[in-house]
Amino acid sequence: MTFSELDIISRISAMVPGQGSEVIKGLGDDCAVIRMDNDRLWLATADTLVENVHFDYSWHPPGLLGRKTASVNLSDIAGMGGRPSFALLSLALPVSVQEEWLTLFMQGFLAVLHEHDALLVGGDTVKSNHDAVFSVTVLGQIAADRVLYRSGAKPGDLVWVSGELGVAAAGLELCRQGRPHPEDEAWQKLVLAHLDPTPEVELGLLLAESGMVSAMMDTSDGLATDLAHLCEQSGIGSEIIAAKLPMPVAMAKVAACLGGSALNWALSGGEDYRLLFTSSPDNSATLPSLVKERMGREIYCIGTIVDGSGVVLIDGNQRRDITYKGYDHFAK
């Protein structure tokens, strides 16, 4: 019998006993939420990067790999509107690892923590007989009345994303095919989106502070799967419009050159680490204005929350179910 990633998560969730009074939220969100005191909550998240699954030494420089290892974990904290505080890093390394490589990796990792006022406070180091594995745990903090869960979306809410989708998948494909085109700035931005994603901590803080967001998470497995998670936790469905998905012009050119699909990258590629969130249509003008005023950037409305379940893509006159059609570690 084979399992999907969703099957495995569901089976583990069913085995977990009831949680104590200090656990506000356990499995099922970007982070576990644990009571700190009456006014503050801890956010706790863990993630793992595996050689030849999440990265390839042949194109991923150690400094940028260190940055990515930190960023993908801080993104989970951002996905609930929190501020990262502490990190633990566990390394499983082959004996062939070079001192210079490890130094550059750690410099990149620590640089991202420093950019977000977080501290490395512990971890573990072991030998791997084969591939390298990096596992990170991050603790963040948030006011008890500001935390944003996946479960707050309501029918009629608008669906938003914080930036362009599919860029990391396009960059990964450029790396796989050995065609990074460093002289082409637009193409190089796609490669960098894969190599050095940015956790949107400050935007997450602003959205949580605004009081206008009903549900939120980050996009790590692709829009189709991540929005399906949000819909499942909220007990609703969603419809998104293909023409509204933000994608750079360069991505279509790369897709044509490499034989890929820009739309599929945007829906299923994963590793964009954007924020995916919902808000009442009453805030359709106020929310993007706030983000533009405070951060000088755009957010993008891509669809609507509806009664029912699952995620439907509307592409011209066509409608298709794309529920959980994003990245799955166990898919063949």
* pLDDT (0 to 100) of residue 54: 87
Does 316 lie in the same domain as 181? Answer: yes
Range of the domain at 113: 15-143
Cβ contacts of residue 1 below 8 Å, gap of 6+? none
**Of 13, 125, 120, 10, nearest to 73 (Cα)?**
120
* Number of domains forming the structure of the chain: 2
* pLDDT (0 to 100) of residue 186: 83
Asked if residue 42 belongs to a domain, the reply is: yes
Asked if residue 43 belongs to a domain, the reply is: yes
Does 48 lie in the same domain as 83? Answer: yes
Asked if residue 187 belongs to a domain, the reply is: yes
Tokens (6 digits) for 41: 């909550």
Q: Which residues pair with 33 in a beta bridge?
A: 25, 43
Q: Write the Ramachandran bin of 53: left for phi over 0, alpha for psi from -120 to 50, otherwise beta.
A: alpha
Q: How far apart are the first and last CA of the chain?
A: 13
How far is residue 314's CA from residue 321's CA, in Å, rounded to a whole number?
9
How far is residue 326's CA from residue 265's CA, in Å, rounded to a whole number?
9
Does 242 lie in the same domain as 159? Answer: yes
Asked if residue 109 belongs to a domain, the reply is: yes
Among the candidates 83, 111, 143, a domain finishes at: 143
Asked if residue 232 belongs to a domain, the reply is: yes
Does 243 lie in the same domain as 126? Answer: no
How far is residue 223's CA from residue 161's CA, in Å, rounded to a whole number?
9
Does 102 lie in the same domain as 46? Answer: yes
- The answer to whether residues 280 and 206 touch, using CB atoms and an 8 Å cutoff, is no
The CATH number linked to 256 is 3.90.650.10
Q: With the CA atoms of 113, 115, 118 and 121 taken in that order, what torsion angle do they form, in degrees rounded to the nearest 10?
A: 40
* pLDDT (0 to 100) of residue 73: 95
Asked if residue 219 belongs to a domain, the reply is: yes
Asked if residue 204 belongs to a domain, the reply is: yes
**Of 115, 135, 133, 250, nearest to 193 (Cα)?**
250
3-class secondary-structure state, position 320:
strand
**Of 107, 83, 309, nearest to 199 (Cα)?**
83
Asked if residue 241 belongs to a domain, the reply is: yes
For the chain, give the mean pLDDT: 92
* CB-CB neighbours of 11 under 10 Å: 10
Does 195 lie in the same domain as 106? Answer: no
The CATH number linked to 37 is 3.30.1330.10
* pLDDT (0 to 100) of residue 38: 87
Among the candidates 143, 160, 189, a domain finishes at: 143
| C-alpha 237: how far from chain center | 20
Among the candidates 82, 115, 143, a domain finishes at: 143
Does 83 lie in the same domain as 169? Answer: no
> Would the pLDDT of 198 be above 70?
yes
* pLDDT (0 to 100) of residue 325: 86
Does 101 lie in the same domain as 21? Answer: yes
- The answer to whether residues 148 and 279 touch, using CB atoms and an 8 Å cutoff, is no
Q: b vs e for 224-233, b when ≥16 Cβ sit within 10 Å of the residue's Cβ?
A: bbbbbbbbbb
Does 315 lie in the same domain as 198? Answer: yes
* pLDDT (0 to 100) of residue 138: 98
Q: What is the pTM of this model?
A: 0.92
Q: Which residues pair with 238 in a beta bridge?
A: 305, 311
- % the chain with pLDDT above 70: 91
pLDDT in tens, 98-144: 999 999 999 999 999 999 999 999 999 999 988 999 999 999 999 99
> Would the pLDDT of 212 be above 70?
yes
Does 157 lie in the same domain as 135? Answer: no
Confidence of residue 97 (pLDDT cuts 50, 70, 90): very high
Does 191 lie in the same domain as 70? Answer: no
Q: Which residues pair with 50 in a beta bridge?
A: 133
How far is residue 52's CA from residue 210's CA, in Å, rounded to a whole number?
40
Does 165 lie in the same domain as 197? Answer: yes
